[in-house]
Amino acid sequence: MSSDETEYTATLEGTEHEFDSIRSVLAKANERKSGDELAGLAASSSAERIAAKDVVSRLTLETLYENPVVSADEDEVTRTIRDGVCEDTYEEIAGWTVADLREFLLAESTGDEEIRALRKGLTSEMIAAVTKLMSNLDLVVAAAKMTVVARCNSTIGTEGTVSFRLQPNDPADDTENILHSVREGLSYGVGDAVIGINPVSDDATQVKELLQATSEFIDRWDVPTQNCVLAHLTTQMDAVRNGAPADLLFQSIAGTERGNREFGIDVELLDEAAELGTNRCLGDGPNVMYFETGQGAELSNDAHEGVDQLTLEARCYGLAREYDPFLVNTVVGFIGPEYLYDGKQVIRAGLEDVFMGKLHGLPMGIDACYTNHTKADQNDIENLAVLLTAAGANFFITVPMGDDVMLNYQSNSYHDGPTLRSLFGLQAAPEFEAWLEETGITDDGRLTDRAGDPTIFTQP
């Protein structure tokens, strides 16, 4: 029997709540999100939301496996996720309920090793379902148990570390301005995840120029990091084929086949890019791909297939894990208040996304950010950064003074990187940490008087 032919009910205080499909009950079990309301998928009341959570808690993992929210016959993301499941592991847990999975993840006896052994038996719908049953603290606790290590030229995700992407965007793609920002970020000890530029121009020649400039800088100062220019994937591939010195290939992805088509990609292109990156990118690897996601992207492209934004976000991670990437980050508040209305919704979504990414086995980071028409401010973003450092996020995106003048949004600042490391007693990626000590930017893991001085990198 398909999910659409099945009724799911829960009775609360004498009132029966009925849901006509897995898709419907998953959507209504979400914490409140403006994007789900915009799509007409959200619970109509707190009582209905609680009833939906009750139904979800009683679903078996087998029911979710057999009823993906988008049919495998119609969607290659669904097929990719199902093909990636370890059948033997799945068979061991197929009879668990979603509540059983939550109890397992939060049990004191469950650690990184136990979760690692289980995750390949999970589909993205299972991971989305258990996320809907968890409080913010649950998400922090469970995510903190999971360690996901990835390597390109540096190694991120090792225990006791947190890394940062240095994002030196410039509204004119001015190479010297970009390098000024790179110098400033490195002088604060950020950039061990990647020096990643969002270009204004989606042009292969321009991409190659930016990659050459950052690559020469990295070589000149022997910085143990990697570069990436976040143009469209096909543009980066053209640049690399023309000799551009890239360490990583980047692409935004969606949780449905139609959503990815709106991004101008499909699984065949991602396969081709992963092969090109392995053979032609300059990073030591083995991880050469970088993906970006964010709740609401499919709805904004009218490609959500009637599925809620949290479940679709989980499916992005199911697609990403097929490519064993070096970096995956959600851009949690960039899409605007139509999808995440205020600081409370942005913080909740950020916690959900990092937890779901790590449970998929991904080196998960975040751009903790907001646009200026969202009811959020810098305190919300700093709160989220503290929570996600506690949750063991692999990396954060940082921009000068927390203000990206090219993309016109607010994020964490270069200064936030060393502050978070100091607060939690963490270090940079091991190779990068050693480099910071050699350059005198840090001493025994603490910033020195040289920190914050970009002229370190202009002296002969």
What is the C-alpha to C-alpha distance for residues 111 and 117, in angstroms, rounded to an integer? 10
Residue length, the chain?
460
Residue ranges at the known binding site for adenosylcob(III)alamin:
199, 251, 300, 406
Identity of residue 296: G
Q: What is the largest CA-CA distance in the chain?
A: 78
Sign, Cα dihedral of 329, 333, 338, 343: positive
Identity of residue 82: R
**HSE-up of residue 237 (Cα within 13 Å, Cβ side):** 16
What is the C-alpha to C-alpha distance for residues 245 and 280, in angstroms, rounded to an integer? 9
CA neighbor of 49 nearest in space, from 58, 38, 41:
41
List, as one string, the DSSP characters of 207-241: HHHHHHHHHHHHHHHT-S--EEE-S-HHHHHHHHH
CA-atom Rg of the chain in angstroms? 22
Identity of residue 309: Q
Q: Are strands 289-293 and 327-331 parallel, antiparallel or unpaired?
A: parallel
Q: Where are the alpha helices (DSSP H) in 29-135?
A: 34-38, 46-58, 61-66, 76-83, 87-93, 98-106, 112-118, 124-132
What is the C-alpha to C-alpha distance for residues 380 and 342, in angstroms, rounded to an integer? 9
Q: How far is CA 456 from the centre of its chain?
A: 32
What is the C-alpha to C-alpha distance for residues 160 and 179, in angstroms, rounded to an integer? 29
Residue ranges at the known binding site for substrate:
165-167, 198, 292, 367
* Residue 289, helix vs strand vs coil: strand
Residue ranges at the known binding site:
165-167, 198-199, 251, 292, 300, 367, 406
